[in-house]
Amino acid sequence: MQCVVVAERNILKKTLDKRPRLFTFPHSLNIEVAFEEPQRLPESDQLRYLPSKTIATRDLHSAASTRQTLIQDHAPPRKMTVSVTDESCPTRDKALQINVFYPTIAQMPKIKNVGDIIRFHKVKIQQYQDKTQGVGMSRATRHLVLRERDDGKLEQLAYSDSWTFEPSDEERTRKLIKWSKTSLAEDTTLPDGCLHAPKLLAELQFAEGFIDLVVRVFHLDDSEEPVRLIVWDGSGNAADSDMSLVQALKDRNIAVPASGLLKEVIMASCWSLVRDMGFVDGMLTHWCRFRNLAIATDEPIPGTVVTPGRREVLRFREVTSFALMPELAFDVQLRLSLMASTSKSRSSSDNDQLRMRSLGNTSTEGPLGSSNNIFSPVVAITVIPAHIQKNIPVTSLREILSSPQTPRKFHCCARVRSIWPTDIAKICKPKSGSFIYSFALNVEEGNDSMNIIVYGKDAVSAYLHQMSGILLTAFVCLCSYRNTFFTVSHHVISEKAPALKHCWKNALQLCYKRQTPSTGASNPTRFHCHLGVLLVQPPRYDTACSTHCFNVLSWKMLYLCMERKRCNYVQTLIKSRKGF
């Protein structure tokens, strides 16, 4: 009986070596195998066969070297995920995700800017993990990317040799462009899979793992690998910037910003992909959004001033994405608003007002140009009891940090530049039927700053179990460690979270007392002090607007007793706000 054994040469060879009597093969045996490779059609049970191919084998017993020929090689297709919106799903959290597959980068849609218009032809809509998504296949799906140029004409980008673009297509494109300008400026939601809004560079010390950023790229060095970017978003102190980055800008005659922290983004293996997608031309002229940047440390730039110690940098990994942001986007406007507010000098002795920015007011001129629809200041009066204003003058942070005198009461006005954790819901934790608050603030005044750890509990408010965030007040106790680290314990009044996120970006007027530690204290450099109560009126919400609009009506500073007692006035306020 004849039989045919089909297997790879090395398998047959190993079989014969282990069991030489299993098969009887004459020497100088040549075998030719002709076959047609089957392929399953996409989304179908039918098969199609490739043209017939013939493989010739050589003597299995021969020890001579052989040459193997690769018949067919299939590289995995490239994948791009595009999140699209229109009038039917106007916000980013409801955007439809379309996964596009193509063999090469050149065939991918040349989407560079958030707000670009794309037309898909033959996209399959399906359900995946209880979510609706689109799938574009390389054999069937066609695309056309459109964007408006500075001269008002439409730029059309497609991989196909030819495509149609009717007057109705242009009309629809113009309509979408007009709609997107309003949508991008008002949309405060987060895309699917993003738990946190893009962070500021000043908040990197509290970040872990991977973060999102919206920044300007001041310098791009691709002369050698890895490629390095110097980025800036207007937050933080310029004095905290790595001097090697400052020197790198000066060496290339690039203006160093007077305010704001400089950081570095390292791009290694992914740089070729960013370059091939056409992002390089717009990097230095647009705001850039980095998603899933990894926090790391790196060596200084070769040939520049070396700064001792470790320095934080950001690494562009395989999971990182990049896009150019229009100036009208909400995240960009927040940073322009921050730059506009920090560019105005304030006197700590005269500034007894807090400023809050809300949507929909007049334009503000920022360092990078004029912008519309950004936050404009709303004045909120701070009222401090007369005996405190008379007996405790406003003191700068520099004088407080350097003052050796204790005990002493201080009255200061400082700006809160960051909070940790950034997820507001995490600052409150239930414990034994009550709530424990714990978070960290970083406050600044000019070039001086100090860290504040806030902790305490509150079991009075009836709606704390709904905690999406709090805005705190009440009597506190403050400590400092080596004049640089402050700790606060307090009793709080809870407010809605949106006001918290915006009010803490402005100045806080504080009143506290610093004392020497008690006798026998284990740490002779630790000081105890007290902070007065900060009372905030509830924010107003505009129900007719798709986003929350809020105004701080007034801020009041109350000076309560220094003992750990519940204040009847505070309890009355909490009970009266149950319906808010």
User: What CA–CA distance (Å, rounded) separates 406 from 493?
Assistant: 30
> Within 13 Å, how many C-alpha atoms sit on residue 88's CB side?
2
Q: Which of 417, 415, 325, 327 is nearest to 363 (CA)?
A: 327
Sign of CA dihedral 407, 411, 413, 417: positive
Asked if 490 contacts 564 with a C-beta cutoff of 8 angstroms, the reply is: no
* Pairing, β 428-431 against β 434-445: antiparallel
How does pLDDT run across 219-275, given as a tens digit for each residue? 999 988 889 999 999 888 888 888 889 999 999 999 999 888 999 999 887 888 898
The 10 Å CB-count burial string (b at 16+, else e) for 50-72 is eeeeeeeeeebeeeeeeeeeeee
Q: Which of 186, 94, 184, 90 is nearest to 548 (CA)?
A: 186
Asked if 498 contacts 523 with a C-beta cutoff of 8 angstroms, the reply is: no
Under-50 pLDDT residues of the chain? 1, 59-73, 308-310, 345-382, 457-509, 511-580
User: What CA–CA distance (Å, rounded) separates 237 from 258?
Assistant: 9
User: What CA–CA distance (Å, rounded) separates 138 from 42?
Assistant: 11
What CATH number should be reported for the domain whose range is 78-186?
A: 2.40.50.140
Rg value, the chain, Cα: 32
Answering whether pTM is above 0.85, one says no
Beta bridge partners of 49: 38
Within 8 A by CB and 6+ apart from 512, the residues are: 409, 410, 476, 478, 529, 530, 531, 532
pLDDT at residue 445 in the model: 78
Torsion of CA 382, 387, 391, 397, to 10 degrees: -20
**CATH topology match: 78-186 vs 201-325:** yes
The CATH class for the domain spanning 201-325 reads mainly beta
pLDDT at residue 128 in the model: 85
Separate counts of helices (H) and strands (E) for the chain: 10, 31
Helix (H, G, I), strand (E, B) or coil at 443: strand
Asked if 410 contacts 511 with a C-beta cutoff of 8 angstroms, the reply is: yes
Within 8 A by CB and 6+ apart from 277, the residues are: 105, 108, 110, 112
User: What CA–CA distance (Å, rounded) separates 364 from 344?
Assistant: 12
Asked if 392 contacts 410 with a C-beta cutoff of 8 angstroms, the reply is: yes
pLDDT at residue 95 in the model: 92
User: What CA–CA distance (Å, rounded) separates 572 from 374?
Assistant: 37
User: What CA–CA distance (Å, rounded) separates 303 from 227?
Assistant: 15
User: What CA–CA distance (Å, rounded) separates 390 from 376?
Assistant: 32
- Asked if residue 421 has a cis previous peptide bond (ω within 30° of 0), the answer is yes
Q: The tokens of 113 are what? A: 């800017």
Helix (H, G, I), strand (E, B) or coil at 238: helix
* C-alpha to C-alpha distances, 264 to 248, 311, 312, 369, nearest whole angstrom: 11, 10, 8, 24
Q: The tokens of 235 are what? A: 């937050």
Torsion of CA 330, 334, 337, 339, to 10 degrees: -130
Domain positions in the chain = 9-56, 78-186, 201-325, 345-576
Strands in 85-163 per DSSP E: 96-102, 117-121, 124-128, 131-136, 142-148, 154-157
- Give the containing element (helix H, strand E) for 169: helix 167-186
